Amino acid sequence: MDQRGSATVALAGAAFAVVILGSVALGVGTGVILRHQVASAVDSAALGAADVSRGVIAGEPCSMAREILQKAGVEMVLCKEFEDSVVVQGRRTSGLHSVIATARAGVVDGGEK
């Protein structure tokens, strides 16, 4: 039986497996990074909206949230004001990944010292 060339086929198969595993790892890593970026942007938007809601900054809470999200490249899905807090939800899609994050910010103890 002639074994010439079998090492080349084995090496090509191993190289193909490494490329596939690397691609999967890159895809998963990209999704994790995207999730963290969107969550951070939505957290910042909720905090900014809560500051406006409490009168710390002038303006309208949901406009502030939208502005912060736009600067981060995140689409605002929801902005809802409550008596003591603001809820913001944002979404960003990149390639195969679509991420939605929600954050609530406000005064926990009524703002009293």
Cβ atoms of 76 and 90 within 8 Å: the answer is yes
Is the pLDDT reported for residue 15 higher than 80?
A: yes
Q: Does residue 111 fall inside a structural domain?
A: no
Domain count for the chain, please give it: 1
State percent of the chain over pLDDT 70.
94
Q: Does residue 4 fall inside a structural domain?
A: no
What the block records as the tokens of 44 is: 């910042």
Instruction: Give the dihedral sign, CA 18/23/28/29.
Output: positive
Q: Does residue 15 fall inside a structural domain?
A: yes
Domain span holding position 84: 9-106
Name residue 98's beta-bridge partners: 93
pLDDT in tens, 45-98: 999 999 999 989 899 999 999 999 999 999 999 999 998 999 999 999 988 889
Whether pTM exceeds 0.95: no
Q: Does residue 98 fall inside a structural domain?
A: yes
pLDDT given for residue 36 in this prediction: 96
Q: Does residue 89 fall inside a structural domain?
A: yes
Q: Does residue 22 fall inside a structural domain?
A: yes
Strands (E), the chain: 75-81, 85-94, 97-106
Q: Does residue 55 fall inside a structural domain?
A: yes
